[in-house]
Structure 1
Amino acid sequence: MLSNLQGMKAQNLEKMENKNDILMIRTALENNYFKGLYEGNIDLLATIFHHDTLLFGDIKGVPYAKTLDQYLDGVKNRQNPKDSGRPFKGEILSLHIINSIAVAEVKVTMYDFIYHDILSFHKINDKWLIVNKMLTDTNQ
């Protein structure tokens, strides 16, 4: 019976840690990623990315590949959605965590685009950071 209780405690601890990790990633996405995109705030955006993050995908069928610095420079030099007065919406579609890695699928509607981003996270020094971003635009 004692081993059953110890097993139950370990399962509950894993569930609690997972809930905490889910909350940490969701909070970072909402407060840093979506808000940073909306405001064009590259300092805020930079806090959720690992400094060596690479970004790949396509926009309107054109291949897209950038370093984090190139990406942040593009965000800095465009009109941000907040100042444009155009609609903006960020949604977390799914989140999957295994130990210190995670994958989030998010949908970002801004300007005339609906972006689907696949964001790979790694937990480094108790902080979840995006280590890779893949993106594409869709009609829905």
Structure 2
Amino acid sequence: MKTVLLTAFMLWTIQGIKAQNTIKMENQQEDVLAITDAIENYYFKGIYEGDEMLVGSIFYPGTLVFGDVNGQSYFKTADLYLDGVKNRQSPKESGKPFKGEILNIKVVNSIAVAEINVKMYEFNYRDFLSFHKINGKWFIVNKMLTNISD
């Protein structure tokens, strides 16, 4: 009798674990899709069109931007970065090629990191965007960038 009860308990426990993993995987896939949408339809599109409001809508207030460009240290607040997006000639207006590409997205609970590549003007930027899910929406909470050779 003990063997039967122990076996039944173990099978029930294994089924519960399997169901939890399925739910986590489904949620993670939904989160990856939501982050992909934010990057493609707000980040890339906003940079390409020079629309600082569109890009800014996925930056959490107080976000910082760090990195290096051509070996020179780069640091700005998101507000200063967005002001630059607003006041430069957009890639769309310049007629020069623009390509945004998502290389990788890693999600763990309510945080995520996206590695992306942005080719515009004479630069090939590699960005690491840190995301946090706040009130059901994914926001960029930190941006790190560098330019790399093709």
Partner-residue secondary structure (3-state), 2:45: helix
Query: CA deviation digits over 1:46-98, x for unaligned, max 9?
Result: 11110110001111111110001100111100000001100000001111111
Distance 1:19 1:63 in 2: 35
Give runs of ≥4 in structure 1 deviating > 6 Å. none
Partner-residue secondary structure (3-state), 1:86: coil
1:40 aligns with 2:50: yes
Give the residue type in structure 2 aligned to 1:10.
Q
Give the residue type in structure 2 aligned to 1:32.
Y
Residue 17 of structure 1 deviates from its aligned partner by: 0.2
Distance 1:131 1:86 in 2: 29
Aligned to 2:73: 63
Residue 10 of structure 1 deviates from its aligned partner by: 0.6
Aligned to 1:94: 104
Distance 1:112 1:82 in 2: 14
Report percent identity of matched pairs: 54
Greater gyration radius: 2
Aligned to 1:10: 20
Residue 31 of structure 1 deviates from its aligned partner by: 0.4
Alignment root-mean-square deviation, CA? 0.7
Aligned to 2:64: 54
Give the residue type in structure 2 aligned to 1:60.
N
Residue 2 of structure 1 deviates from its aligned partner by: 1.9
Partner-residue secondary structure (3-state), 2:21: helix
The structure in which a higher percent of residues are helix is: 2
Distance 2:118 2:94 in 1: 16
Partner-residue secondary structure (3-state), 1:139: coil
Consecutive unaligned residues in structure 1, runs of 5 or more = none
Consecutive unaligned residues in structure 2, runs of 5 or more = 1-10
Partner-residue secondary structure (3-state), 1:3: helix
Give the residue type in structure 1 aligned to 2:106.
H
TM-score (norm 1): 0.98
Aligned to 1:138: 148
Give the residue type in structure 2 aligned to 1:67.
T
